Amino acid sequence: MSTQPVGSAPRTLFEKIWDDHAILQDESGMTLLYAARHLTHDGSHNGFTMLDQRALPVHRPRQLFAVADHGAPTVSHRMEDIHDPDQLRVMKKLDENAARHGFTAFNLADPRQGILHVVGPEQGWTQPGMLLVALDSHTATHGALGCLAFGIGASEVCHVLATQTLWQRKPKKMRILVDGDLPFGVSAKDVILHIIASIGADGAAGHVIEYAGSTLSAMSIEQRLTVCNMSIEAGSKAGMIAPDASTFAWLRGRPYVPKNDDWASALAYWKSLAGDEGAQFDREASFDATRILPMVTWGNSPAQGLPVTAHVPSPGDAQDARRQGDMVRTLDYMDLQPGTALVDIALDMVFIGSCTNGRIEDLREAAGVLRGRRVAVPTIISPGSTPVKQQAEAEGLDRIFEAAGVQWRESGCSMCVAMNGDSVPAGKRCAATTNRNFRGRQGLGSRTHLMSPAMAAASAVRGKITDPRDFMPQVSA
């Protein structure tokens, strides 16, 4: 499996995993794939309802894992703090489905609970070479560990629950190379925002992205998870990074990762997954990491990002009338004037967390800026999982946050998707470490600026969008 057969064409990482999981292809070109891992969350109730309507059991419950995250309250992890009756219903339904079908689910009371795309890698549910699917568009996150991972809809969820398979049309292949050392103050979040701003929100549509290059190789696994998390924001099916020594070291010893002799067998397979020399891609794009600056979005698409040193663009600079009209409407919604320095944009609140930037390295980054300072606007920090929260508290990060006037919360999706009571009021402006700045994403009428944890922390201190490098010399001294 995944080795290059004698005389065959070189294959990419994506092709190796696809081939290993392909069962058959129909006359229309669709491929039936085996799903090695199926992940889900409290939003899965529609898929289970469809399953119940067909009187079918979960075909392979040992391959299904779930967490309570989207509707999880962050003021506490008590069910009585879920005030939305619909969210309370689906949270209870997850527990009922887990008990009835026998799959693993981490509910609010479980000390391993957290956001699906943080918990999966953390627990070792995510492993190289897998084809992994989940009811969530940011399933691409898991590709940072060398697997093929993508989101699916409710009807596909039902199909996987019933058969452990799904039908897919094979995407095209795209490689994104990033080489060079990152400049001072530039993070993985800045890298992916720079890429999306460069290629556009549909720049990878119809493709699976394989990230490569010296910059990616030098990144920690948590940084790679951030990059792959936002692959979907460039229109791609999935984002992937070939597993390497850093991947294997990070995975070893995690609860659901193979042990002893099974570890040796798994490792041998994982090492065979890297793309073959000479493997071909349908598209390629290259970036010089040394030219990337701290990034922030100004509009309603992750592609509308600029260096923090820039100014709000003018519709007059748009390439055509349609884009000009889009920019006019975006600026009106965001209540921004062309030519305004991004660092002059005042904020109403700040959120640090999510499956993009809620891991321990992200919290350390924020704490490095907040240490010894006070926030000027309401700021919420929600860790990506309960184990991340516990580690942060063991390191004393919670004390730094609380001394700075930050609300230190429980784990959950929180203000990223605004389904749990944490939201941005209409007309208010929020700096967020999340992955989407769509209209209403953080609450009806909310205005969102995406950025890194360091920039969010610096912006919280000043009460306006802030270049994190302004605070870093003192922190690093």
- State whether 311 and 458 are in the same domain: yes
- State whether 75 and 224 are in the same domain: yes
Which residues make Cβ contacts (< 8 Å) with residue 80, sequence separation at least 6?
none
Q: What is the pLDDT of residue 1?
A: 59
Let me know: does 247 contact 146? Beta carbons within 8 Å.
yes
2 within domain boundaries: no
Q: Which residue has the tokens 């663009």?
A: 313
Q: 432: which strand partners?
A: 351, 450
| Nearest of 252, 216, 238, 281 to residue 143 by alpha carbon | 238
Q: What is the pLDDT of residue 473?
A: 67
Q: 285: which strand partners?
A: 176
Let me know: does 37 contact 62? Beta carbons within 8 Å.
no
- State whether 352 and 440 are in the same domain: yes
Buried residues in 317-353 as b, exposed as e (16+ CB within 10 A)? eeeeeeeeebbeebbeebebeeeeebbebebbbbbbb
Three-state DSSP at 240 gives strand
1 within domain boundaries: no
Written as one string, the DSSP assignment of 84-112 is -HHHHHHHHHHHHHHHHHT-EEE-TT-TT
Q: What is the pLDDT of residue 319?
A: 83
Q: How many domains in the chain?
A: 2
CA–CA separation, 103 vs 85, rounded Å? 25
Which residues make Cβ contacts (< 8 Å) with residue 215, sequence separation at least 6?
178, 179, 180, 181, 182, 191, 289
Which residues make Cβ contacts (< 8 Å) with residue 260, sequence separation at least 6?
none
Q: Which residue has the tokens 């879920």?
A: 82
CA–CA separation, 349 vs 378, rounded Å? 5
Residue 279 phi/psi, 5-degree rounding, is -65, 140
Instruction: Return the structure tokens found at 33.
Output: 């794939």
Find the distance separating the first CA and the last CA of the chain, reported in whole Å: 50
Let me know: does 241 contact 212? Beta carbons within 8 Å.
yes
Q: Which residue has the tokens 């493997």?
A: 279
CA–CA separation, 139 vs 133, rounded Å? 7
**Domain ends where: 225, 258, 285?**
285
Q: What is the CA radius of gyration of the chain?
A: 22
461 within domain boundaries: yes
CA–CA separation, 52 vs 50, rounded Å? 5
Q: What is the pLDDT of residue 8?
A: 81
Q: Which residue has the tokens 């007059």?
A: 316
Three-state DSSP at 275 gives coil
385 within domain boundaries: yes
- State whether 425 and 463 are in the same domain: yes
- State whether 169 and 267 are in the same domain: yes
| Nearest of 472, 456, 344 to residue 401 by alpha carbon | 456
- State whether 261 and 328 are in the same domain: no
**Strand ranges in 201-353 using DSSP code E only, listed in sequence order:** 207-212, 238-241, 283-288, 295-297, 305-307, 349-353
**Domain ends where: 255, 285, 315?**
285
Q: In this structure, what CATH number is given to the domain that contains residue 447?
A: 3.30.499.10
Per-residue pLDDT of the chain (477 residues; tens, 9 = 90+): 566 665 589 999 999 999 999 999 999 999 999 999 999 999 999 999 999 999 999 999 999 999 999 999 999 999 999 999 999 999 999 999 999 999 999 999 999 999 999 999 999 999 999 999 999 999 999 999 999 999 999 999 999 999 999 999 999 999 999 999 999 999 999 999 999 999 999 999 999 999 999 999 999 999 999 999 999 999 999 999 999 999 999 999 999 999 999 999 999 999 999 999 999 999 999 999 999 999 999 999 999 999 999 999 999 988 889 999 999 999 999 999 999 999 999 999 999 999 999 999 999 999 999 999 999 999 999 999 999 999 999 999 999 999 999 999 999 999 999 999 899 999 999 999 999 999 999 999 999 999 999 999 999 999 999 999 999 864 443
- State whether 157 and 262 are in the same domain: yes
6 within domain boundaries: no
Written as one string, the DSSP assignment of 33-58 is EE-SEEEEEGGGHHHHHHHHHTT---
- State whether 276 and 341 are in the same domain: no
| Nearest of 239, 340, 250 to residue 299 by alpha carbon | 340
- State whether 228 and 343 are in the same domain: no
Q: For helices 154-163 and 45-53, give the axis angle rounded to 10 degrees.
A: 60
Q: What is the pLDDT of residue 477?
A: 36
Instruction: Return the structure tokens found at 193.
Output: 């925002």
CA–CA separation, 73 vs 68, rounded Å? 10
Containing structural domain, residue 461: 295-476
CA–CA separation, 286 vs 270, rounded Å? 26
290 within domain boundaries: no
**Strand ranges in 247-324 using DSSP code E only, listed in sequence order:** 283-288, 295-297, 305-307
Let me know: does 413 contact 69? Beta carbons within 8 Å.
yes
Instruction: Return the structure tokens found at 242.
Output: 């070939």
Let me know: does 256 contact 224? Beta carbons within 8 Å.
no
- State whether 309 and 344 are in the same domain: yes
Let me know: does 404 contact 368? Beta carbons within 8 Å.
no
61 within domain boundaries: yes
Three-state DSSP at 374 gives coil
**Domain ends where: 233, 261, 285?**
285
342 within domain boundaries: yes
DSSP state, residue 9: P
- State whether 209 and 228 are in the same domain: yes
- State whether 273 and 332 are in the same domain: no
| Nearest of 177, 175, 176, 179 to residue 214 by alpha carbon | 179
